[in-house]
Structure 1
Amino acid sequence: MPSPHLPSSAAEVMAGASSLMAEPFKGPITVTLAYFVVYYLFCFGQTFMHTVLFATLKKKGESVTLSDVKLGRIEDPMVTAVNRMFLNTAEQAIPFLTSFWLYALLVDREDATLYGWVYVGLRAVYPLFLYLGLKFYTAIVAFSTAGQYLIIFYFLVKLAFLVGVPAWVTFSILGVIMCLMSVIAFRYHLVWALGKDREGLQPLSQ
């Protein structure tokens, strides 16, 4: 009879080895799982809200199709918010997960876990800030998105230093990106301040 303290099969040996290998990365793995929970909540939430908004618009007598709602053809703040909720999350998934795991593997697991949780938290409240931004003032959204961008940039800068990229190159590229972000932010502020629809941007007062 095999000892209860010894693995009885190769599968158990492999499982034990995998567990030992995963233990140091428990933090990053947990962050990744939490991120995907948020990701799929947004994904399925988008589909659910499309159905609700479609039904609401039909009750109001609007001549719309479900495709109009899904593809954002309807000039409605809630449609915009629902679509951006998931699209922005999908857009940033690869930059975040790639930089996060490279940082965790090559730089500092605990540091990555801490900033990873902050990122997931900011991502989770993104719909709230997006709604407030559409309803009141665009810049409110930056309280969520800017923090997420900064965390990704932090990971990337540390990784760049790790492989010997000169500081002036790293910060020059980062500076250009920040300038572009500032220009975009100013443009949205201008649209909000003028209260006009420019190139398809909805005035936030509506």
Structure 2
Amino acid sequence: MSEDTKPSGSESNSGNRMTDADFAAARERYELGTATLIDLSDEYGISRQALSERFKRNGVVKGSRAHEVAAAAAKGAKSAAEAAGAAADRFQDKRAEWIEEARIQGVQALKQARLIAQKTVVEEMKKPGGSMEAIDGDLKALGRYNKILLDNLEGTLRILRSDEHIDEEDLPILSVEDLTNEEILDHHKMTGALPEDATVEEMLAEDIEIDGVV
């Protein structure tokens, strides 16, 4: 006889064979909505009816605590977003330093490669019968090395998006000041809105119409 066709009393007994710890674990997952009755009955080796009856006797309702899962997921998402934001802030804080460091190290490495090439050529030409052909292989190797240095430097600066970086110290300073009446009068004279002999009093008078000003 299959488990699904057992008498109800036998099924109830099979449900009671679960340990308290197993039942507590099954109950939590069922209430949180992370496992179905089928999942739990298969996992613990008891009939669905027996487990369902025991749930009912203990007031266990499917998904009754699902909101806790949603809350935990929301909290996790918030924490992840905050962590990502903090990482982005750290990146921005260090970005200028890393860009400058990459440039300095890149220039130094390229300078060193150039000096090695120069030394190789000079030493060869000092030898009796020295020729560039004799060091052709060395120079090709140095050329490949130089390309690796350039590729590394360009890749580093690309990752740091150095072309988008603007040093705050390089930003122009915008200064906003209120113009005096005399400065406003000079401006209107310069633009031809007022005659050269106009005074501040005339400019401020209501009956003076300034060209282009409504």
Would the TM-score normalized by the shorter structure come out above 0.5? no
Q: Report the structure, 1 or 2, having the larger helix content.
A: 1
Q: Which has the higher contact order (CA 8 A, sep 6+)?
A: 1
TM-score normalised by the chain length of structure 2 = 0.28
TM-score normalised by the chain length of structure 1 = 0.29
